Amino acid sequence: MTKSYFVTGTDTEVGKTVASMAVMQAIAKAGYRIAGYKPVAAGSKETDEGLMNSDAIRLRAASNVELAYEEVNPCLLDAACSPHIAAELENRSVDFSTLSNGLRNIQSKADVALVEGAGGWRVPVSYDSTLADWVKEEKLPVILVVGVKLGCLNHAYLTAEAVRRDGLEVVGWIANRVNPGTEHYSDIVKTLEHHLQVPKLGEIPYLCSVKSRDLSEYIDIKPLGL
């Protein structure tokens, strides 16, 4: 049976895609078939293959099974803003059944499916629903990415609390050093380890050209049962 995980972050721009790539690279090195999935992406760019989202492109590249772009990202919105605003600008709606059908397809092709969210846990996809509502329907275990910077403790505590209140399990977390100048880095990580009370899957250091690197060495997938 395919294992599936949902990657969320403490905020936008905290490195969900970097962390997702790192986990996928580690899973691939362990010999599993891994497929990345970006159900909703807001922000597109023109490529030789048409409009695509840069995060979805990277998840597709990190997958070791062959996937068409539309399989990785079934809902692509043009504007780089909150998905509910981007969808309204295009007079579209984010259909949960489309997201679920896409997930089933991904799961049929891999041993592990890694699903990357958009923004933080409560990112709205309409004025009445959030992407978390779909994750709840799918009952996906959650990996929390913490962008280590000033204020991240509060954001991490609140996000983990919200995930658990929604009835889902936080199965692991990843520290991503998004700001090399953040003081007391080790103390922040120690505090998160104490408070979150779930396995730390790894720490990703601040690196130049981080999205083009092999980051598998920074991730331990054993707590995921892999």
DSSP 219: B
Residue 161 assigned as binding residue:
no
Residues 13, 217, 33, 197, CA torsion sign:
negative
Q: What is the DSSP string of 174-206?
A: EEE---TT-TTHHHHHHHHHHHH-S-EEEEEPP
Residue 120 assigned as binding residue:
no
The SS3 of residue 149 is coil
Does the annotation mark 139 as catalytic?
Answer: no
Residue 177 assigned as binding residue:
yes
Identified catalytic residue from 38, 45, 136, 149: 38
Residue 118 assigned as binding residue:
yes
Residue 206 assigned as binding residue:
yes
For residue 124, the tally of other CB atoms under 10 A from its CB is 19
Q: How far apart are CA 135 and CA 77, in angstroms?
A: 19
Q: How far apart are CA 144 and CA 109, in angstroms?
A: 25
- With contact defined as beta carbons under 8 Å apart, do 27 and 20 qualify? no
Residue 15 assigned as binding residue:
yes
Residue 202 assigned as binding residue:
no
Residue 176 assigned as binding residue:
yes
Residue 13 assigned as binding residue:
yes
Give the residue ranges of the annotated binding site for ATP.
13-18, 55, 116-119, 176-177, 205-207
Give the residue ranges of the annotated binding site for Mg(2+).
17, 55, 116
Catalytic positions, please? Answer: 38
Give the residue ranges of the annotated binding site.
13-18, 55, 116-119, 176-177, 205-207
